[in-house]
Structures are given as C-alpha cells and as structure tokens.
Amino acid sequence: MLGNGQDPENQPPPTLDCSWIIKHHSNELIIPITLQEPSRFARVVQSIRNWRPGSTANGETSDKTTGTGTNAWKRDKDASFRISIAELHRIRMRKLQFKLASHAWYMKRNMTEPPGPWEADLQEYTKALQDYDYMIKCTSAQRDWFLISGERMVDAYVMYRVGVQPVEDKDEGEREHSVGQEKVKKKKKRGTIPVLGPWEEENTPIGGTRNENVKKSWVLGFRQRVVMAALGGAFLIAPMWLMVLHNTLYTALVSTTVFVFVFGLMMSALLEKPMDVLSGTAAYAAVLVVFVGLGPSGGASS
C-alpha cells in the first residue's frame, strides 16, 4: 500500500502536461529572415541554375499559377519569416517520447500494462522516426518542402493569409518552464537568418510541375556528371603532366602519394560504403603506379 492508501496496482496513469514541449521547441518554429544581396558571381551562377528551356508537354508549361489573389498583395522584399514543418514533427516525436516514457514508468511502478494504447504509441513513434529520416533526405533537394519560407512568393502569401507577423519572443528574456518538478530557466536569443537573393517573384506551384521537376532533375544530374568527369580527368591528367615535365624519381613518388591521398579523401566524402572507397582508391593508385613504371625513363632520376 502507498502512503495515500491506494494500491499500486490501481494507480491511474499520470496526466501528461505537454505544454513544456511547445515552449521547448517554440524558438525554432517561426524564424525571421532577411534578404542578403548576392555578389555578381553568385548572380551569374543563380541565373545559370534557373535557366531551363520551355516545354509544351502535358500542358504544364509554366511555373506560374493563377487565382491566388496575390496580385493586390505586396510583400516585403527585404524581410519575411520561415516556418519549420520539421520542427512541428520534432514536437510530435517529443510528445510521443513523453507518452512512451510515461507508459514505461507505469509498467515499472505497477508491474502491469498501462490502460492507454501504449503499443499504438510505440508504433506511431517508430513511424515518426522513419518520416523524420525522409525529412532529412529532403534537405539535400533543391527545395526543402518542409520549410515554408518567405523568399518564395506563394509561401510568403500563405504566411500573410495566416497572419504571421513579428511578435515579442519570450526567449529574448528568461524563459521558465517545468521539467519534472524543477523550473528550468533558459536564456536564448534567436536572430534573423540571412537568405541569399534574389527572392522568388513567380507564383510557383507547391512541389513544382512534373515537367519542370524532370528538367531540374536532369540539369542537376548533368551538372554533377560534368563535375565528376572534370575531377576524374584532372586526377589523371595533372600527375601525368607533372611527371612528364619534371621527370625525376622524387617527383613521381611524391606526386603519386599526394594524388592518391587526396583522391582517397574525395572518395570518402562522395561514397558511403567503405569497400567502394577502398576499391576506388586502390584502382586509382594502380593506374598511377603503372604510369610511373611505364613513364619516360621509368621515373629515373635526372
């Protein structure tokens, strides 16, 4: 029997107060952003990235949408906000974690299953972690669709219709919330995020049109293939020129060592599997060793 006269077996599960979770994550939900003017070089690179030929396939010829009512609305071109849907998902995961911790404590304390649907909560938590892994993969895409960001025209209009506006952040001073039985005070200041311009001026459909996505994917893949071809050629041609123009034993040995080491680092950054890194580096080293052995005078000292 407990001190309050109740049997541990009949103790009800505690009522969970999740308000501290909202306070804990609120600082990252909506963040102000400001326009950062790009350099001339960045403008040229951006224009090259944004260029793509037109298409008439499937009737999806434009990024522009109509009927949004944005014509009469003028956004601030220098400042806006960014809403993190990923942060909302982190709130969801934290709430599920909080529930599972409560279920585990109830089982440990009462040696019986809690009355709540703990198995469903566990399954939902596992699915939430899988969804978060997908969100992480989306950060490498050209557009992160788990961010509602004001540099995009329609996203800015969405926040305008919602009524997002500057508010006094509680974290500018001391914020106090409960963790267990203790009061935790945090002092954290959230500044604005500079976002490189120029900001979007077209009403782009959410997710983009299918044809535009195919074009962007092809252009991105082509650009990556060109970069890989240039790197591969440079790693073979550069040591060849060096060994031919400066044909000494030490030049051959040092250049081979340095190029193989740098190539191995590049493979480590680009590849995920250790065996792929090992096989690629070994193949490149074999090519250089063969070239050194068959080079002019066999790499003899001069």
- Provide the residue ranges of all domains of the chain, joining segments of one domain with +: 8-42+63-208, 216-299
Predicted structure pTM score: 0.65
Rounded alpha-carbon distances, angstroms, from residue 212 to 1, 172, 202, 262: 69, 42, 14, 37
Q: What is the pLDDT along the chain (302 residues), one digit of tens a residue?
A: 444 445 545 555 567 888 899 999 988 899 888 888 776 666 666 666 555 544 433 444 444 444 455 556 777 778 889 999 999 999 999 999 999 999 999 999 999 998 878 999 999 999 999 999 999 988 887 788 899 988 888 888 999 999 887 765 554 444 444 444 444 454 455 678 888 777 888 787 787 777 877 887 888 889 889 999 999 899 989 988 888 888 888 888 888 899 999 999 999 998 889 999 999 999 999 988 887 766 655 544 44
Distance CA 162, CA 149 (A): 13
Q: Provide the 10 A C-beta neighbour count for residue 26.
A: 17
| Cα 103–chain centre separation | 32
In sequence order, the 6+-apart residues with CB closer than 8 A to the CB of 62 are 209
What is the pLDDT at residue 36? 83
The predicted-structure confidence for 134-172, as pLDDT tens digits, reads as follows: 999 888 877 888 999 888 888 889 999 998 877 655 544
